[in-house]
Amino acid sequence: MKILGIETSCDETAASIVEDGRKIISNVVASSSDLHKKTGGIIPEIAAREQLRCIIPVIEEALGQKINKKDPDIEAIAVTSGPGLIGSLLIGVETAKTLAYIFKKPIIPVNHLQGHLYANFLSKEKPLFPALGLVVSGGHTDLVLILDHQKIKWLGGTRDDAAGECFDKCARLLGLGYPGGPAISQEAQKFDKKEKIITLPRPMINTDNFDFSFSGLKTAVLDKIRKLKEKDKFNKEIIQELAFEIQEAICDVLVKKTIKATEKYEVKSLLLAGGVTANPRLREKIRKEIGTKVNLFIPPPSLCTDNAAYIAAHAFFNFKPKPWSKIQADSSLSIEEMIK
Ligand code: KG4
Ligand code: ZN
């Protein structure tokens, strides 16, 4: 079964065709991140206007044809209905509903956060349940237990900033631009570890739960920068060291809690998902710590960040079409919520 996936929850406009939930036929992503670089972050109104401009060309590129020419070779349409920025979500949802109506295809609304986890099904090997999922993106940090498709239990998450948000905000403090995750990662690679003197806190690393907190780390970075500036020591090398230590601190907390959860719940697979899991240091650290009992799945970096292939994959494995007139964008869906 070929499904057209559509994803517009944040600043990307994405469309993809996936066959039987595993095989990517096409995967097109247009990002307005260059526009947001100028402002140091996403301005929702600007993101939505850009999505309105490019949604049809992106879908046509994924389909390999103009929409008004002939019926496309797809059996269903999947669309992210939440969570996300409401203006952005509406563009994807309303476009998908219109296409479903015109082409008389079933339409499946998809929870974006659950969708991220299904990037791990776009591989040769299929994850076995029970699985543990770590979803770390710009707006979310969640640990979930996946007992089966449609059976997701939330174990814990961030109490304040998301891990990606912490990368983005710290990068801004360091003057490294947007998006902050890749910028920090690049600076961190330039740092010579032998010279290391700066240490930052690892918030909540030893707490007896699966919650996270990243806003204190951002405050600690702000405080360090202020003191370094007072001593006229805020230079290129210090920025590299701070980038390195920020990345270490975020990754250490994510890895420790994730490994603890895999042990407690005796899962068969660990699924990493979300933009932050594109981070090479996080991937390296988790590979080192995971051990042999659990099968580790990490999508290729291009499938970690927002795209529509995992939306189509989620719809295949959780095939629950809904009448188009009943589908609504919901900006505040939680990761556990199944769309009925
Ligand atoms: O999943 P995603 O593409 O969009 C959301 O659903 O939020 O995640 C975006 C987040 C941003 O905060 C970005 O800085 C972070 O993922 N990110 C990274 C890397 N690539 C993207 N964080 C750390 N290292 C990276 N290489
Ligand atoms: Zn996302």
- pLDDT at position 42: 77
- pLDDT at position 95: 98
Q: Rounded to the nearest whole angstrom, what is the distance from the C-alpha of residue 31 to the centroid of ligand 1? A: 13
Burial category of 154 from C-beta neighbours within 10 Å (exposed 0-12, middle 13-18, buried 19 and up): middle
- pLDDT at position 32: 73
Measured from the alpha carbon of residue 308, the closest ligand is 2
- pLDDT at position 115: 98
Positions of the chain with pLDDT under 50: none
Residues contacting ligand 1 via CB (< 6 Å) = 10, 137-139, 164, 167-168, 179-182, 185, 274-276, 278-279, 305-306
Measured from the alpha carbon of residue 180, the closest ligand is 1
pTM strictly above 0.85: yes
- pLDDT at position 288: 96
- pLDDT at position 36: 67
- pLDDT at position 326: 96
- pLDDT at position 293: 84
Q: Tens digit of pLDDT for each residue in 278-309?
A: 999 999 999 999 988 899 999 999 999 999 99
Q: Rounded to the nearest whole angstrom, what is the distance from the C-alpha of residue 65 to the centroid of ligand 2? A: 27
Q: Tens digit of pLDDT for each residue in 262-278?
A: 999 999 999 999 999 99
- pLDDT at position 237: 94
Q: Rounded to the nearest whole angstrom, what is the distance from the C-alpha of residue 163 to the centroid of ligand 1? A: 9
Q: Rounded to the nearest whole angstrom, what is the distance from the C-alpha of residue 292 to the centroid of ligand 2? A: 29
DSSP, residue by residue, 36-99: HHHHTS--HHHHHHHHHHHHHHHHHHHHTS-TTTS--S-SEEEEEEESS-HHHHHHHHHHHHHH
